[in-house]
């Protein structure tokens, strides 16, 4: 197992946001987190990446315990978090945003990865000198994902990558996520579009009010009556 959370509890002030969360990610797999707004999906990603501290429990990555490490050390380990909305540098160019993704890396390998990213995202090469704030919503999301790839992730956390996008752009982002998976990069995917998430993932966890209420391989969850009614429109 590449990554594990064990019995994680998280509080916001005195309100418990996550309750006894345990989940795992195998190498080269996509794990989806689905659930309603406020179920705790984003809090799980923030806790993994060190932006929120767990009250108790354990988080393990590549054989070492990481829940007490600060966010910058977790990034150095290879856990890269694409937050909801992308968190781009709006007044930097597309190219400079991509360079920020490789600030921990040096040499020809990093520059070679820029060529690879441009091959996967040709629109970003066309827009390389534009300010990030001038991009469309879909292009901004592509840039956020591309910047994460420049960091050479060992585990990629994606929070609502299709939020607010058109159906056509949603399909395009889904295709990109599938291609990243084919590169061997494991992903934890938070996605409000449950149908898309279950199409992309191999395993999924269903969250309700801070608890995992269901977990299984995707092919089994697709036949689950509760999942069908609550998340797939019957």
Report the pLDDT value the prediction gives residue 24, as an integer from 0 to 100: 97
pLDDT digits over 187-222, tens only? 999 999 999 999 999 999 999 999 999 999 999 999
Residues of the chain with CATH 3.40.50.300: 3-78+153-231
Q: Where is average pLDDT lowest: 8-17, 53-62, 108-117, 200-209?
A: 108-117
**Residue range 127-149: mean pLDDT, rounded:** 96
CA atoms within 13 A on the CB side of 190: 24
Q: Residue 111 — very low, low, confident or very high, per pLDDT cuts 50/70/90? A: confident
Report the pLDDT value the prediction gives residue 234, as an integer from 0 to 100: 64
Q: Which fold has domain 3-78+153-231?
A: Rossmann fold (3.40.50)
Calculate what percentage of the chain has a pLDDT beyond 70: 98
| Integer Cα distance of 51 and 10 in angstroms | 12
């Amino acid at each position: 197992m590449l990554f594990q959370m064990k019995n994680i509890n998280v509080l916001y002030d005195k309100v418990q946001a996550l309750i006894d969360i345990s989940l795992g990610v195998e190498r080269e797999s996509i794990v989806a987190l689905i659930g309603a707004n406020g179920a705790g999906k984003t809090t799980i990603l923030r806790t993994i990446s060190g932006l929120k501290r767990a009250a108790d429990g354990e988080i393990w990555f590549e054989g070492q315990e990481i829940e007490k490490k600060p966010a910058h050390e977790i990034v150095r380990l290879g856990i890269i978090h694409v937050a909801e909305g992308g968190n781009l540098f709006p007044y930097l160019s597309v190219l400079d945003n991509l360079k920020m993704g490789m600030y921990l890396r040096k040499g020809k390998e990093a520059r070679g990865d820029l060529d690879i990213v441009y091959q996967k995202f040709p629109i970003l090469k066309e827009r390389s000198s534009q300010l990030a704030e001038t991009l469309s919503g879909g292009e901004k999301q592509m840039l956020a994902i591309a910047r994460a790839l420049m960091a050479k992730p060992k585990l990629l956390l994606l929070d609502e990558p299709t939020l607010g996008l058109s159906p056509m752009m949603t399909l395009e982002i889904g295709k990109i996520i599938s291609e990243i998976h084919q590169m061997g990069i494991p992903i934890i995917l938070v996605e409000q579009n449950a149908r898309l998430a279950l199409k992309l993932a191999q395993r999924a966890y269903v969250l309700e009010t801070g608890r995992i209420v269901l977990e299984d391989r995707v092919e089994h969850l697709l036949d689950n009556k509760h999942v069908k009614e609550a998340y797939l429109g019957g």
